[in-house]
A and B are shown apart, each in its own frame.
Chain A
Amino acid sequence: MELFQYPYMQRALIAALIIGLAAPALGIYLVQRRLALIGDGIGHVALTGVGAGLLLNRSPVLVAVIVATLGAIAIELVRSRGRTSGDLALALLFYGGIAGGVMLVGLSHSPSANLNAYLFGSLTTISPGDLTTIVVLGAVILVAMLVLRPALFAVSHDEEYARVSGLPVRTLNMLIAITTAVTVTIAMRAVGVLLISALMVVPVASAQQVTRGFRTTMTAAMALGLFAAGSGVWVAATADTAPGASVVLMAIASFLVVALAAAGWRVLRRRRVPAAAAPAAPEPHEVVLG
C-alpha cells in the first residue's frame, strides 16, 4: 500500500479506474453489434498515429487520437456499406496500421520511442498532463454512453427498426466508431494497444452470464471493469508485475469466477426445482428462435 503514496502510482490508479469504467460502457455496444474485436483493430491503427507523432515530434497520444479516429470512420464506412469485401478491407487497415506504426517508430529514432510502452501499456509513466487528458476524455465517453443509452441500444439492437423510428442512425454509428477510437487511445497508455479490447469486452462477457437486461449488464460490466482495473494496479504494485497485463488478467479471472458461479447456481437450481416444472409451450416445428 505504501507505493500508493507516490504521485505516479496515484495517477496510475486513477487512470486505470477511469478506463476500467469507460471501456465496458462502450464495449457493451460493440459486443451487441458483434464488433467485439474492433477495438483491437483500431488499436493497430492507433499505433501508426503513435509513430507519426514521434516522427513529427508531436504528442504521440494526440496524433494517435486523430489517426485512430480516421481509421474508425473508414471501418464504419466499410461496415455500413455491407460489402462482402469488408473483411479484407479491415485486414488491410489493421495490418497496415501496425506495420506503419512499427516502421514510423523505428524511423523516429527518438529516445522515448519505446514501442513496448504503447504495445503493452506503461501505466506508471503517466504524466499529470496525460492524466488530465484521460480524465476529461473518459468523462466525455461515459456521459455520452450513458445519456444516449436508449438510442445506442436501439441502433445496436435493431438497426432497421431504429431507422424506421427516425433515429439518426448514421450519426449514432459514427459516434460509436469515434468513441471507440478515443477509448482505445486513452486506454493505450494503461493497458497497451494489444490488450485494449480485453477491457472493452471481457467485463461485458462476464456480466451477461448472469444478467437478464441491458441496463443491468451495462452496470455490472462497469463494476467489473472498475474492479479489474483497481485490483490489477494493486497486484502490479505489490507483486511488481506489468500493470496492463495484471489488469487484463484480473478481468479474465473475474470472468472465470462468474462463469463457475453461474454454472454452479444453475446446477443447484435444477436440483431444487424438479425438471417437470413449467414445460415450454409447444411451438410449430418451423419456429426459429431468434
Chain B
Amino acid sequence: MNPPVIAVAHAAVGYDGRAVLRDVSLTVTAGEVVAVLGANGSGKSTLIRSVLGLVPLSAGSVSLFDRPLRRFRQWERIGYVPQRLGAGGGVPATVREVVAAGRLARRGILRPPGAADRAAVDSALRAVGLTDRANDAVATLSGGQQQRTLIARALAGRPELLVLDEPTAGVDAASQEAFAAALRDFVTDGGTVLLVAHELGPLRPVISRAIVVHEGGICHDGPVPEPAGHHAEPDHDHVHPHCPDEPARLWSI
C-alpha cells in the first residue's frame, strides 16, 4: 500500500455554532485521484479547505505527508487551485505573473527567480495551453482561461499533491478538455489529486475514487457512482449522486 498523503481523522468544522462537517475521516494515498462530490452546501469545499488549514477544525486532526498539519512546512509539495481568481483592487497582472507566484513555495520569498523558475512557468503554461496568452492581463481572459491560469500556477511549483476546488465549474468545453489533459499528465507522472467537483465531465476517466459528502458527513467512499434515472441521460452531466437516505424519488425513477 502506498504511503498516505492526506489523512483526516474524525474532523469536525463549525461556523458560528453551526456544524458544517461532522466526524469526517478520510485517507488519500499516493497516486490516487479522489473526487469529492456532493450537493451545494454539503460541506465538500469546507472539507478540502480544512485539509489545507484554511478552515480551522473544531475537533479531529489532519496530517499531510505523515505530518500533523500544525507542524507541516513542506508546502512546495502541494499545489492548490481555488475556485476562482479574486478580482483584487483592479491592479492588472499578466498570466505569467500569476503563474510565477506558484514558484514561491519552492524558491522562498527572498531569492529572485532564476532559470529553473522560468522553465517551470513555461512548461506549466504549455500544459494548460496558455503559452500564447502569457503576457496578457488575466482580467481579459475568459472564465475558463482564468481557471487554467490558476491550474498552471499550481503546476508551476511541481507539486506532488494537487488540491482543486471545483476546477471545472462553469468552464467552457475547450478549457475542460485542456484541464483533463493536464491532470492526466500530472497523474501519469505519479501525482496525487484531491478535487471537489459538481460535474465530472471529461475528468471522469481520470478519477480513481469518489467520496460523496452529504450534510457534513461522508456517505459514499469508493468507485465513481453511476448516474441514475434522468441523471443518466446523455445531455445530463450532473454526476453527483444522492445518498441512499434521501427520498427515493430523487434517487431512482
Contact = CB atoms under 8 A, between A and B. Distances in A.
Interface of A: 28, 30-36, 147-148, 150-151, 153-154, 156-158, 160-168, 172, 204, 208, 211-215, 217, 280-284, 286-290
B89 A31 contact: yes
Contact of B91 (A168, A214, A284): A214
A213 B104 contact: no
Contacts of B52: 164
Given A157-B93, A160-B54, A212 B142 contact: no
Nearest to B175: A281
Contacts of B178: none
B190 interface: no
A217 B109 contact: no
A158 B144 CA distance: 18
B242 interface: no
B88 to A, nearest CB: 5
A33 B92 CA distance: 12
Contacts of A208: 90-92
Interface in B84-98: 84-94, 96-98
Nearest to A284: B170
Contacts of B105: 165-167
A157 B88 contact: yes
Interface residues of B, number: 48
B146 A290 contact: yes
A281 B174 contact: yes
A213 B101 contact: no
Contact of A213 (B109, B135, B153): B135
Task: Please provide the 6 A-B residue pairs with the shortest distance between their CB atoms, ordered closest to farther.
Answer: A166-B75, A151-B109, A287-B143, A213-B94, A165-B105, A164-B80
Chain B interface SS verdict (over half):
loop
Contact of B89 (A34, A163, A282): A34
A161 B81 CA distance: 8
Given A33-B89, A284-B172, 10 more contacts: A32-B90, A36-B89, A150-B100, A150-B104, A160-B80, A162-B101, A165-B101, A166-B73, A166-B105, A288-B84
Contacts of B143: 283, 287-290
**Which of B109, B170, B172 has most chain A Cβ within 10 Å?**
B109
A151 B86 contact: no
Contacts of A36: 89
A14 B167 CA distance: 51
Contacts of A284: 170-172
26 contacts: A31-B90, A32-B89, A147-B110, A148-B110, A150-B100, A150-B101, A150-B113, A153-B97, A157-B88, A157-B93, A161-B82, A162-B101, A163-B53, A167-B105, A167-B109, A168-B109, A208-B90, A212-B92, A212-B94, A214-B97, A281-B174, A283-B144, A284-B172, A287-B171, A288-B143, A289-B142
B177 interface: no
A290 B80 contact: no
A208 B93 CA distance: 10
Contact of B97 (A163, A215, A288, A290): A215
Contact of A158 (B86, B136, B171): B86
A245 B120 CA distance: 48
Nearest to A214: B93
A165 B157 contact: yes
Nearest to A201: B89
Contacts of A214: 91-94, 97
Contacts of A34: 88-89
A283 B137 contact: no
